[in-house]
Amino acid sequence: MVDYIVVGLGLAGISFCEQLEKHQKSYVVIADDLQSSSKVAGGLYNPVILKRFTLPYKVHEQLEIALPFYQQLEKKLNSTFISYLSILRRFHSIEEQNLWFEASDRPGVGQYLFPKLLKNKNESVDAPFGFGRVLHTHHIDTKVLLASYQNFLEKGDKLRRETFDYNKITFENQGVCYDGSKALNIVFCEGFGVRKNPYFKYLPIKGTKGEYVFIKAPELKEEKAIKASIFCIPLGNDLYKIGANYDHHDKTFTPTEATKKSLIDKLKIFIKCDFEIVDQVAGIRPTVVDRKPIIGSSIEHERLHILNGLGSRGIIGAPLVAQQLFNHIERGTEIEGEININRFTAKYFKD
Ligand SMILES: Cc1cc2nc3c(=O)[nH]c(=O)nc-3n(C[C@H](O)[C@H](O)[C@H](O)COP(=O)(O)OP(=O)(O)OC[C@H]3O[C@@H](n4cnc5c(N)ncnc54)[C@H](O)[C@@H]3O)c2cc1C
């Protein structure tokens, strides 16, 4: 008998496992690698929504624990996946510059926006209206993080690399049984895979596909991430990650020619040097209709729980919601309404 079974090992699963580690709970993770959003993520640790210069849900609270969380994890896993990365927002017009300065005067968001206009100094970049710089930004190499965490779990014999079969759950007085293994609780962290979960598939996790193309551009020599209508993220060795798009209709995990073309067209608006396309990846963000995470317990089976809906900001969001879910399960702490599963459950089970 273990305290927990965790299903799925993306940013949500890792963050919840770390709560279990911290509180010395026993657990096993059951995870396949078939559809990880975390693996293809841009890795941007970015506190600001760069479309309108606003802040995501509870960003101050998220940041307070997110960076220490990843720093401790780096130490524990003896791995390197955090790097400092400057993020520049390319302005399209004078009006946009003005919006930036207005935002940088506002309490809250102002602390994340450098209040001066930066001029473009890179001849391979076109940015006649200059840039704004976001403060407190980093890059998390999620691929390295995921591989290191899998390795850590495997060494402790805590990872079963398989697809969780929902038909194999049975409920007992003292807990839950899965395929012969007993646990007090199951926490589902399946990202968009939740749509196959009979206990939680009613939740409005719509999924938004995103793709990146990778380019090699030896003349570009840019060390900062530039956000125009899409991002150009430097990876080192003249490689850059270009994207991502937001597709609300296509629910497949394969990259498409149409998106490649559209990303390259958008790139050519602000990058003037030659480049070669070397790769392309796709993933589905677990997005929710109201753009907030979903955490909590099943109304029908109190030992089944969910941590999902991290949307396009799992890196800074996951550690805080994992802590809140753990406190809810173990200490009965109330989950705030805005991220509580009950905001959808009550309506679903009433109808
Ligand atoms: C193109 C793109 C770019 C992004 N860029 C950024 C970014 O720069 N910054 C940022 O903060 N966020 C970014 N995101 C969002 C971020 O990736 C997500 O918020 C986050 O990864 C979601 O994590 P998760 O653990 O909930 O889901 P996932 O990472 O999808 O993990 C779920 C895991 O569960 C497994 N699973 C599902 N069902 C089962 C089952 N039945 N049995 C076993 N295993 C199962 C899946 O295979 C997967 O490994 C991006 C996303 C995309 C797609």
**pLDDT recorded at residue 54:** 92
**From the CB of 31, is ligand 1 less than 6 Å away?**
yes
Q: Is the pLDDT of residue 88 over 80?
A: yes
Q: How far, in Å, from the CA of 216 to the mean position of ligand 1?
A: 26
CATH number of the CATH domain containing 340: 3.50.50.60
pLDDT tens digit string along 124-160? 999 999 999 999 999 999 999 999 999 999 999 999 9
**pLDDT recorded at residue 351:** 56
Q: How far, in Å, from the CA of 42 to the mean position of ligand 1?
A: 11
CATH number of the CATH domain containing 278: 3.30.9.10
Give the chain's domain count: 2
Atom 48, ligand 1: residue with shortest CA distance: 36
Closest CA to 312 of 192, 224, 225, 226: 192
Q: Is the pLDDT of residue 350 over 70?
A: no
- The answer to whether residue 309 sits within a structural domain is yes
Q: Are 269 and 239 part of one and the same domain? A: yes
Atom 27, ligand 1: residue with shortest CA distance: 191
pLDDT tens digit string along 272-324? 999 999 999 999 999 999 999 999 999 999 999 999 999 999 999 999 999 99
Q: Are 269 and 333 part of one and the same domain? A: no
Closest CA to 293 of 309, 311, 281, 317: 309
Q: Are 104 and 130 part of one and the same domain? A: yes
Q: Are 299 and 343 part of one and the same domain? A: yes
pLDDT tens digit string along 39-58? 999 999 999 999 889 999 89
d(CA 53, CA 96): 10
**Which of 232, 261, 285 represents a domain boundary (last residue)?**
285
Q: Domain limits at 96?
A: 87-136+208-285
- The answer to whether residue 77 sits within a structural domain is no
**Which of 255, 285, 315 represents a domain boundary (last residue)?**
285
Q: How far, in Å, from the CA of 267 to the mean position of ligand 1?
A: 25
Q: How far, in Å, from the CA of 33 to the mean position of ligand 1?
A: 10
For the chain, what is the radius of gyration of the CA atoms? 21
Q: Are 18 and 100 part of one and the same domain? A: no
Q: Are 197 and 251 part of one and the same domain? A: no
**From the CB of 207, is ligand 1 less than 6 Å away?**
no
Q: Are 120 and 213 part of one and the same domain? A: yes
Output the CA torsion sign for 258, 264, 268, 269: positive
Q: How far, in Å, from the CA of 173 to the mean position of ligand 1?
A: 33
pLDDT band at residue 90 under the 50/70/90 scheme: very high
**Which of 267, 285, 303 represents a domain boundary (last residue)?**
285
4 within 8 A of 27, measured Cβ to Cβ: yes
- pLDDT, mean over the chain: 96
Q: Are 194 and 228 part of one and the same domain? A: no
